[in-house]
Structure 1
Amino acid sequence: MRMGEGLHMGRYYVPLSGLIPHDLTEPVWAGDYAFIARKWDVSIFDWAELQSKHKLHISYTAGDLLLKSCNMEIAVTASSVDDARDKILAFHVVMYARGFHPFSVQLVSSYSINDYAGICSRKSSHGLELLPEGMRTGITSATDCVEVWPAPYASGAAFRKEALARTVTHDLLAQVVDDIDRWNNLRSRYPVCRFLERVLMSSPVVADTGQSLLHVWTGLESIFPKVQSEVSFRLALYLAQLQSPLGDRQDFFQRAKRSYGDRSKVAHGGELKSRDGADPWMEAWSILTHTVRALLNRQCILTEEELIQELLVAADASE
C-alpha cells in the first residue's frame, strides 16, 4: 500500500543532510523507522521526469538542489503526511538528545532516493544500457507514481559545531526507536514537550548565535514556569537536580548558572565571549539536549516543589 490512500499505512522517505551513514549496506528497520544509505545520484533529468509525469509539490530544480547534500534517508511507516511529520519530528528530538549535530530534513517522498534514481533512463533500452547495473531495475513512470512534498519544518544549523556526533550506525536505530516511544509518552502527557520540540528545531537555524542562545534558554525556562525570583540560581538548581540520575549535579549546576549569565548578557545587549575555549552557544545547547535526555530517562517532568523535595530527601539520605 502506497501513501495517500485514505488512512492506510504507507512508507514515507525522508532525505537528511548533515548525517553520515556507517555500515548501512541494506535498509535497517526497527519499529516504524528505517535507516537507508544513499546509493545513487538523482540526475536533473530524473527530476525533470518526476516533474512532468509524477506528483511534485516542490519545483524539480529545488529537489535537485536539496538532495545534493544528502548521504542517507530515514523511512517511516505512517498513515498520512501529518502522521509522518510527527514521527520525523520525534526522531529529530531524540537524535539531538543523543548528542547529534543539528541536521536537516530536506523533503519527504513516497519512494526512496534509491528507487527513483535513474527513472528517466529506464524509459528506454538505450538509456537502460547506460546505467550502472544496480540501477537498471526499478520503478518507472509507466508503472509507479512518485509524490514529493517539501520539508515539514525548518531544521539544520546556521553554523557548524564540529564537537557533535554525525555518524549513524546500524546498532543506533533500535536505541533511537526506544527513545522515540519514551518521548511520545512524555509529549502526550506534558504540553511543554511540544514547545521544546519547536525550540530544538528552530534554535540552530537562527544565524545570530546570541539570539539562538536566547531561544535555547526560552526552552529551558519553559520547563519551570513558576520561577520569578533568584532566577539564575533556581533554574540552575532545578536543572541540575533534574539531571541527577545521569551525572554530576554540582558540575551541571555551575555550567547552567554560567550559561544563564550568558543569556542575561545577550538579553541586555552584551556580546558573547568564550571562556577558556568553551563555546557559550555549545554550552547552552548541551544543557538543553542533556535536559531532554534527563526527561527521557525520568519519563516525567517534575515540578519545582517536587525537585526540591527530591533534593532534600537525597541530602537526608547522605547524612
Structure 2
Amino acid sequence: MLDQEAKALLEAVAKANRPAFEAIGAVAARKLYKETRSAVTPPAPDVELAANIAAPGPLGPIPLRYYRPAGAEPRAPLPVLVFYHGGGWVVGDLDTHDVVCRTLANEGQCAVVSVDYRMGPEHKFPAAVNDAFAALKWVQAEADHLHVDAARIAVGGDSAGGNLAAVMALMARDAGGPDLRLQLLIYPATDMAMDTASHKAFAEGHLLTRSSMTWFQMMYLNGAADVADWRASPLKAASLADLPPAHVIVAGNDPLRDEGEAYAKALQAAGGKAVFSEYPGSIHGFITMGKVLPQAGQALAESGAALRAAFAALLFH
C-alpha cells in the first residue's frame, strides 16, 4: 500500500508526462533531473558551513562540498560522513543532494563531505568507484586540515550512492583502512542482476522504472561481465565479514527494496551488525522529496540518530 502523499506524487508525475531519461540521453536527463528537484525539495536548513572544495583524484580534482552542522565550533574536530549522491551513476550532483547533506550534518551532529564522483556514460565503471575511494582516503589524510576526527568516519549514500558506500566499506576493509564507524545505505543498489520479486512488482508506475534502470546500467557498466563484479554488485562480494555496522533504509514500493533487505541479511549472516528499516508506503528516491513526502524527514532523522550512535560508540578491536 502506498502512502497517500506518495500516491499523490506518482499521480502528479504521471500527469506531467515528462520524457523518460532513457528517451532523452544523459546530458538532457541531468538537466531534467535538476529542474524537477525544486518541486519536491524542502527549504535548505542553515548549517555552520557549506563550502565547495576538491580532492585530488585519479583523473584530476574531484569536486566536494564540505558541511559543518549549525552551531559547530569552527575548529572542533567533528566526526564525518562521506556521502555519495544517488542518480543511477548518471544523474545527480552536489546541488541535487544539498538539502539531504545539510540535514544529515545537523541531524548527525557531524561534518559531511559530499562527493561529486565521475559518472557514465562519459566515465564508465569503475571510474565512480575509484573517485569515491580517492575522496574517502583524502578525507582521512586531511582530517586535521578539515577539522574532522580521522577515527570517526562513516560512509553513506542513497540508491547509486548507497551502492558506492557499500563498496567503499568493502574496499576500506581490504585496504586496511580507513576504519569506518558506519555504512548508511539508503535504498542501495546491491545486485545488478535486477531479478528480485520487488524488481518485478514495481517495474512500472513507481517512479523508478525497469527501463530506466536498464538504461542506467548501460550508461555506467562496460558490459555484462561487470554485473558480477563486486564493485558493481556488492552482494556478490566473496566475503561480507569484518565490515562496519550498517544501517539500511528501504522504501516498500521500490524495485530496489528486496536487494536492500538481502544485503542487510547477508551482512548479519557474515557476523556483522546491520539494522534494516523499511518505510512500507514510500517509493524510491523519497529522502530527497521532503517538501511533499513527510517520510523523508523521518528517514533523515533516523539516519542522523544512527550516525550519532555510531560516532559515540566505543570501539574495541
TM-score for both structures, normalised by structure 2 = 0.26
Greater Rg over alpha carbons, structure? 1
TM-score for both structures, normalised by structure 1 = 0.26
